Amino acid sequence: MTLDEYKKQFSDDDAVGWLSIDKELDALYPDQEPKHYVPPISYMLGGPDPLDGISVYESSKQTDHLHFVTYGFSELYYDEAKLESEFSKWGFELTFRLKPFEADNGNPSWAIALLQNIARYVFDSGNWFEEFHYMPANGPIRLETETDITALIFVTDPELEKIQTPHGEVTFLQIVGITSAEYDQLIENPEYAEELVNKLKENNPLLITDLTRK
């Protein structure tokens, strides 16, 4: 896209990258209006949460689950200087698929906090994630919960393809909850990451996180 085309198609008020993400989600979830969570104080105004928003869709594919999608790791707003960059900001957005957990009572606010915590790490450290990266949660991924899911591995979202936005490439990276034993195996053998993901996909192709999984 040329600068002239960019100026003709968008105005200063347009969230150019946001619109690119929405286009993908509208195709995946036509006619569904997601729940959308925004920080009470914008990060640009000094708030603690780097992500501008997180949308949560309801999916019945494979099994009923919630599908979270972030807005903020990529370049969201009109910016002529970012036109035709190779990567849009960090070059990814995060997704997360969660099987409903009874104790949440339909309000998995901890998952929103988890995604914002990961964003804080990225924004503060300058380190980003790619497929088959993994990290500990330093305890249960849902705090104060009896669960074996204590770490995360990053995979390409099974349903959302990599997109080219006017500001560059964006990959949808899905975080997947893994057990302490699985994480220990990764520490012993980092090359095991892809094999672990393939094993998980055998019974769980969409890689939905289930806090009750052993």
pLDDT digits (tens, 9 = 90+) for 26-38: 999 999 999 999 9
Cα radius of gyration rounded to whole Å, the chain:
18
pLDDT digits (tens, 9 = 90+) for 157-166: 999 999 999 9
CA gap 28, 21 in Å, rounded: 11
Q: How many CB atoms lie within 10 A of CB 208?
A: 24
- Listed residue (166, 145, 49) closest to 98, CA to CA: 145
- Listed residue (59, 61, 52, 63) closest to 21, CA to CA: 52
Residue 126: the pLDDT is 95
Q: Is 108 helix (H, G, I), strand (E, B) or coil?
A: coil
User: Rounded mean pLDDT of 170-186?
Assistant: 98
CA gap 14, 88 in Å, rounded: 16
CA gap 74, 137 in Å, rounded: 23
Helix axes 180-188 and 193-203, enclosed angle (nearest 10): 150
- Which ranges of 12-67 does DSSP label H, i.e. alpha helix? 16-28
- The pLDDT > 70 percentage for the chain reads 100
Non-local CB neighbours of 144 within 8 Å, separated by 6+ positions:
none
pLDDT digits (tens, 9 = 90+) for 75-108: 999 999 999 899 999 999 999 999 999 999 989 9
pLDDT digits (tens, 9 = 90+) for 189-198: 999 999 999 9
Q: Indicate if the pLDDT at residue 182 is higher than 90.
A: yes
Residue 1: the pLDDT is 87
